[in-house]
Amino acid sequence: MPRLRLEGDRPVSASSGVTATEVQLTRRGLGLAWFTIGYNVAEGAVAVTAGALAGLVSLVGFGIDSGIESISAVLVAMRLLARLRHGTVDEAREHRALRLVAVTFFLLAGYVLVEGIRSLLVGEVPDTSVVGIVVLVASLVVMPLLAAAKRRVGVALGGDPLILADAAETRLCVLLSVSTLAGLVLFQLTGAAWLDPIAGFVIAGFAVHEGIEAWQGSSSRSTATMTDRMAEPAGRRN
């Protein structure tokens, strides 16, 4: 018989071992993932369009980051839907999903790094966009709240690595918003065009760090699962 997780509530069913509290938290995490997808698709479309019209590469990069975060949120939503449907956690698929989330961190870091180097080499001068500034300010309001909500759900689910990795990616969106907005404002004040790509390099460093954490978290989760199965009596393994 599967081991039941009793903390916080009674099991919903003996076969799944999933508590009502865990189901509620998983649904909350799923709702946050759907909100992330919808918000970031809209944000990315507006940012890329405004950046292209203004010739502002940093804003275009911000929009692409929104697309990458949407991909991460889709992966998380798919896995949370599977949990709710089957009442169990598919460790192998969660492991693969977490590694895909890690890859999105590395893609973001690579893009920001390449664009920053290109901007420095060609001496690119940032432009301004009122629409872009509004999008960035809105992101600074919405994304910290969204990241905090995701983290609370991940912690409440016992340190769920998939949801916590998604929360970390949302925090990176906040940092990228700060970097992009600061680059635009400081350039207007000082005329130092190199500030924007330098700030982008810092963001790339954060992205690589979070990507490594997510990748290692998937490995730790896989190892812990194997250890648990080895510790179970033969009659319990199925």
The DSSP output letter for 229 is: H
pLDDT of residue 31: 94
| Gap between the Cα atoms of 133 and 44, Å rounded | 13
N residues, the chain: 238
* pLDDT tens, the chain, 238 aa long: 333 343 444 444 444 556 788 889 999 999 999 999 999 999 999 999 988 887 777 787 788 888 878 888 888 888 888 888 876 666 777 677 778 878 877 887 888 788 888 878 887 776 778 898 899 999 999 999 999 999 999 999 888 888 888 898 888 888 888 888 887 777 777 877 787 778 778 778 877 887 887 787 655 544 444 334 434 444 444 4
Please give the C-alpha separations between residue 11 and each of 117, 152, 163, in angstroms, as whole numbers.
54, 21, 22
Nearest Cα to 210, choosing from 153, 157, 147?
147
From first CA to last CA, the distance across the chain in angstroms is 9
Give the angle subtended at the CA of 59 by the CAs of 125 and 148, to the nearest 5°: 135
The pLDDT value recorded for residue 154 is 92
Please report how many Cα atoms fall inside a 13 Å half-sphere around the Cα of residue 225, on the Cβ side: 13
* Distance (Å, whole) CA 85 – CA 81: 6
Distance between CA atoms of residues 172 and 40, nearest Å: 13
Task: Please name each of the domains of the chain with its CATH number.
Answer: 20-227 (1.20.1510)
Nearest CA to 76 out of 19, 24, 34 is that of 34
